[in-house]
Amino acid sequence: MQDRPTICIVDDDDDVRESISSFFRSVGLQVEGFGAAESFLQSPAVSRVGCLITDLHMPGMDGLGLHRELIRRGVAIPVIVMTAYATPEARAEAQGLGAAGFVDKPVDPELLLHDVETILSDPARSANPRDT
């Protein structure tokens, strides 16, 4: 039996994905990592994810494309978009899609954890917890 929802991390950079996953596991969170948006969409994790953290720029479907596909499928989950190449346009598009957060890489794992815990305590939250 699962006490807390699964946090899914989608990033084509193995080191980033594993680093965040390891940190979250060390504080007791259940985490699944995926190297591509398409892999995540094909997995059973879609039905049990409590928060999705996705890289913006990836080969194939990017993070915003993934968010759009979840919306198209009627899957309402909080999404945090992370990127090393933030632009005002990307930030605005993520916010327009209802992203729960938009963070810059390199990601501070403590701040990301704070965002995830805030989202999990209030899943209806639509803005980045640090932006409000």
Query: Is 127 among the domain residues?
Result: no
Question: Do 60 and 37 meet the contact criterion of CB atoms below 8 Å apart?
Answer: yes
- For 99, the domain range is 6-121
Count how many domains the chain has. Answer: 1
What are the strands of the beta sheet with 101-104, ordered from one edge? 30-34, 6-10, 49-55, 79-83, 101-104
Query: Is 130 among the domain residues?
Result: no
Confidence (pTM): 0.90
**pLDDT tens-place string over residues 29-72:** 999 999 999 999 999 999 999 999 999 999 999 999 999 999 99
Distance CA 96, CA 24 (A): 28
**pLDDT tens-place string over residues 69-119:** 999 999 999 999 999 999 999 999 999 999 999 999 999 999 999 999 999
**pLDDT-derived band of residue 124, with 50, 70 and 90 as boundaries?**
low
The CATH number given to whatever domain includes residue 92 is 3.40.50.2300
